[in-house]
Structure 1
Amino acid sequence: MTSIHTNISAITALHTLRSITSELSETQHRVSSGLRVKTASDNSAYWSISTTMRSDNLALSAVTDALGLGAAKVDVAYTGMEAVIDILGDFKAKLVAAREPGVDKAKIQKELAELKNQVVSIATSASFNGQNWLSTDIPDIFDETLNRSSVVSSFVRDAGGNITVKSLEVALSETSLFNLNGGGLLQADPRDFKTVGGLRYPYATYSDGTQAMSTHPFNQRGSRPGYQTFAFSGAFTFGAADTISFDITVDADDPADVPPPHNPGVSKTVVIDRSTVDAALGTSDGVIADYKQYTAVIARAMQNGGASTNAFVTTFTTWDNDLKKYVDVPDVIGFNTSENSGLNGSSIQITNVSSTIGMPGLAATAISYGPRNSDMTLNFEPFTVYSDTVVSFNLAVENETPLHYSFDKDYVNGLLGITSGEISTSAEMALLLNSLINRSDVTITAAGPGTITVEPDPNLHKKAGSKSGIAFTGVNVSIEPIGTRNFRDIDVDQHPDMIDAYIGYMDIVTSKIVDSAATLGALQKRIEIQSNFTMKLMDTIDKGIGRLVDADMNEESVRLKALQTQEKLAIQALQIANATPKSILSLFQ
């Protein structure tokens, strides 16, 4: 059908030309840009992914730069550490030389002083971009919230789109040689817990190498049982009808020491006759020649009368400084309670003494009470609980099983409402102990600026003598022993007797610094590996983005030629279609 109103052929040819032109334009765009996805309209999903990944690649590029900066910091610290290790080797050699008799120690000390100055100079100079890992200024170098330095290592986006920047952490407590507030590898450790507020006895000795604090891990009180003594007055002989008798009373309560009711103790009667003497000594003449024989006879008589269950008789020895051994104390005999009567008291008394052959030293006595030492006074000194440190101790009253307690900086801070971990007053220490021990039968009170009393309830703790007592034992600070020597204080001229200790100290600190250098070396390798990985990762991401959005130029060039040919044919078809009306017009001419 041919129409003068509608040129269907031309419309079809025009539509074809437009379609080809559009495809040709798109192909030319790909060829010129090299991208098949350049805008979100090309492919919104791929465009979004590629845009995000390009942004991440820029971040990774910044990570690479940061790794380079971190590597420079580590390299500077490692270089300084290596130089210090070399100097410490020379320093130790000088100390060894100072041991030789007749050596001028004053001159050697001058050389040591220069070496010390050089170590300080190296530590001070080992700085990069204002950061120094060998010479630091950290209020508490052992606090992990303060002593950290970091190197950016990676940029991570997880499946949920969350971004994380990872870092390599460095504890400056492991690298610092000198810290302004102490605690560097070549300085004394400032974390001196002293007596832990009075829980333990003061320290008095140091080990030779590190000069590390040595403490007594306890603070305890106790007592001994009540006892009586008498002097043997000379040899004597029992006749067939002779006797000596007496009563022995043990473990009565001391009315002046504990509240009522008061137990009067356990009494037994002891009788000595000739048969007892002969049985005890293996003789038949009734003769007691010396104090040791008399002791053996009394012991046999106490056994016969049932008194040996709760008391015993003994002789004594003393240390002889000239002979360097214990020697007997002649002619002295004693009575002690065995403290096994089941009673709280620890007393002993001799009464109702009677004899048919005189009194060979034995006589009635006043009661001797074994003291009740179940309370204690702590001599408080201020101290600070440092980070990552646990203080533990045991407490026992009388002969109970010790109970274990512990605290750390977080506990102290939470209890006192502070951040420093410092226990500065006896009242704060009493509060700490009460919060930990929390016993209704033990009262802990700050009695003054430097004293704390620990008092068990005498109504509940009545035991006396060696059954009584109170003890803080197993006092332990997790970071001890701590070094208390400073490298810069070494002086062989003023302290020639300390040279061996100095040499031991140098062995220890050199080992620590070698460990620190090894840590830095490992960090150098880690940064190198991470830097190489980051660059490879950036290249891989670029490849991944290319697979999503890059155009295949071979395919696009072929397509471009095809579309250009199609465009020419479409133009010719349109020309032919537009020529048809001319043919119709010719019919009317």
Structure 2
Amino acid sequence: MTSIMTNAAAMAALQTLRSIDTNLETTQRRVSSGYRVETASDNAGYWSIATTMRSDNAALSTVADALGLGAATVDTAYTALDNVVEVMSTIKSKLVAASEPGVDKNKINEEMTQLKNQLVSSAQSASFSGENWLYNSDAGVLGMKQVVSSFVRGADGSVQVTTLDFDTADSVLIDIQDSSRGFLTKAIDADLLIDPATGVPREYFLLDMGSAPAGAAEIAIDETTSSEDLADMISVVDDLIQQLTDSAATLGAITSRIEMQDNFVSNLMDVISKGIGRLVDADMNEESTRLKALQTQQQLGIQALSIANTSAEKLLTLFQQ
């Protein structure tokens, strides 16, 4: 039946054109934004996952910054400690030289005084962003220092920040308030460094920072210093060098761990970004092909609607005849 009141063909063509326009709008939005899932209405599940992982990636970016700060702090402490070990080796060689007959021990002591000043300078200068793991002027201990290492999300959705811990008791060289807490200010019993020990304490310390250990002698020489005292001083300095070497090795191990963790965090961020892309990114090759096809369909739909609208006009010819 042909009707001038209801044009079924035009209605069908219009419905098809509306569907094409809707798909074309979606495709154009994907092409312009680059996302297949841009809002929650596109795909609530994928959008939720992508939003959470983007948040985690932002947290990991902050972790990477914290690792960089921690690495700089550890590197600063290690560099200063390495310099201290070299200076200590020089002091040891000066004490060995003082053991030779006929040398001017007072001159050697003046050189040692300058070397001691260098030790103090190195410890005081080992500061980065207000953190100094080698020099303590506070009443309390420096305690444990933490470097943020990772951001972890558990299977139950809980999150936590993990850290690398370092006990500054293994690195403090100078402690103003309590000499026993610093490698270079504490007293060391030379009698315990020989085998067998005599049982008579002979304690020495290297630096007097205003709280010298009671009953201990400073490692300093003059013309009256005996060969036995020199031997004790050499033993104490050598023991300090071994302790400082162990401390530097610990800092070196932490530096290596931070570098590995930094590389891991960077790779993890890349993998997460790649995973997010697989969920929400648009395939531009596919979308461009679909866009071209929909534009063609739109033109055909407009043509079909035009044909459907003109079919009613043909009825006029029947009445004209």
Tell me the TM-score normalised to structure 2 length: 0.88
> Where does residue 205 of structure 2 map in the other structure?
486
Separation of aligned partners in 2, 1:210 and 1:49: 63
Matched position secondary structure for 1:161: coil
Instruction: Spell out, residue by residue over 1:416-471, the C-alpha distance to the aligned partner (whole angstroms, 9 max, x if none).
Output: xxxxxxxxxxxxxxxxxxxxxxxxxxxxxxxxxxxxxxxxxxxxxxxxxxxxxxxx
Separation of aligned partners in 2, 1:43 and 1:484: 75
Separation of aligned partners in 1, 2:242 and 2:39: 62
> Where does residue 182 of structure 2 map in the other structure?
184
> Where does residue 171 of structure 1 map in the other structure?
167
Structure 2: give runs of 5+ residues left out of the alignment: 208-217
Structure 2 residue 120 is matched with structure 1 residue 120: yes
Structure 1: give runs of 5+ residues left out of the alignment: 191-205, 217-481
Equivalent runs, 1:186-585 vs 2, <5 Å: 186-188=184-186, 207-208=190-191, 485-488=204-207, 489-493=218-222, 495-496=225-226, 497-585=228-316
Contact 2:148–2:163 (CA under 8 A) maintained in structure 1: yes
Separation of aligned partners in 2, 1:209 and 1:78: 29
Contact 1:210–1:484 (CA under 8 A) maintained in structure 2: no
Matched position secondary structure for 2:152: strand
After TM superposition, which residue ranges in structure 1, 4 or more long, deviate above 3 angstroms? 137-141, 482-485, 494-497
Contact 2:148–2:161 (CA under 8 A) maintained in structure 1: yes
Separation of aligned partners in 2, 1:138 and 1:154: 30
Shift, 1:495, TM fit:
4.6
Structure 2 residue 48 is matched with structure 1 residue 48: yes
Contact 2:67–2:147 (CA under 8 A) maintained in structure 1: yes
Matched position secondary structure for 2:166: strand
Instruction: Spell out, residue by residue over 1:215-249, the C-alpha distance to the aligned partner (whole angstroms, 9 max, x if none).
Output: x9xxxxxxxxxxxxxxxxxxxxxxxxxxxxxxxxx
> Where does residue 295 of structure 1 map in the other structure?
none
Shift, 1:94, TM fit:
0.9
Shift, 1:484, TM fit:
5.6
Instruction: Spell out, residue by residue over 1:329-349, the C-alpha distance to the aligned partner (whole angstroms, 9 max, x if none).
Output: xxxxxxxxxxxxxxxxxxxxx
Separation of aligned partners in 2, 1:159 and 1:484: 56
> Where does residue 155 of structure 2 map in the other structure?
159
Tell me the TM-score normalised to structure 1 length: 0.49
> Where does residue 79 of structure 1 map in the other structure?
79
Matched position secondary structure for 1:41: coil
Separation of aligned partners in 2, 1:40 and 1:528: 38
Separation of aligned partners in 1, 2:274 and 2:18: 35
Shift, 1:155, TM fit:
1.3
Structure 2 residue 63 is matched with structure 1 residue 63: yes
> Where does residue 19 of structure 1 map in the other structure?
19
> Where does residue 213 of structure 2 map in the other structure?
none
Contact 1:178–1:185 (CA under 8 A) maintained in structure 2: yes
Shift, 1:138, TM fit:
4.7
Matched position secondary structure for 1:588: helix
Instruction: Spell out, residue by residue over 1:175-212, the C-alpha distance to the aligned partner (whole angstroms, 9 max, x if none).
Output: 1111222311122269xxxxxxxxxxxxxxx552569x
Separation of aligned partners in 2, 1:77 and 1:540: 33
Q: What is the aligned-residue identity percentage? A: 53
Shift, 1:588, TM fit:
2.9
The structure with the greater share of residues assigned to strand is 1
Contact 2:190–2:203 (CA under 8 A) maintained in structure 1: no
Q: 1:110 to 1:207 in 2, by over 3 A?
A: closer
Shift, 1:105, TM fit:
2.0
Shift, 1:585, TM fit:
3.3
Separation of aligned partners in 1, 2:257 and 2:69: 14
> Where does residue 588 of structure 1 map in the other structure?
319
Matched position secondary structure for 1:37: coil
The structure with the greater share of residues assigned to helix is 2
Q: 1:526 to 1:84 in 2, by over 3 A?
A: same
Shift, 1:530, TM fit:
1.1
Contact 2:190–2:202 (CA under 8 A) maintained in structure 1: no
Shift, 1:36, TM fit:
0.3
Shift, 1:584, TM fit:
2.1
Q: 1:499 to 1:510 in 2, by over 3 A?
A: same
Contact 1:210–1:485 (CA under 8 A) maintained in structure 2: no
Contact 1:188–1:483 (CA under 8 A) maintained in structure 2: no
Matched position secondary structure for 1:491: coil
Equivalent runs, 1:96-115 vs 2, <5 Å: 96-115=96-115
Separation of aligned partners in 2, 1:574 and 1:554: 30
> Match for 2:206: what amino acid?
F
> Where does residue 212 of structure 2 map in the other structure?
none
Q: 1:484 to 1:161 in 2, by over 3 A?
A: farther
Matched position secondary structure for 1:208: helix
Matched position secondary structure for 1:90: helix
Separation of aligned partners in 1, 2:140 and 2:19: 75
Separation of aligned partners in 1, 2:18 and 2:203: 91
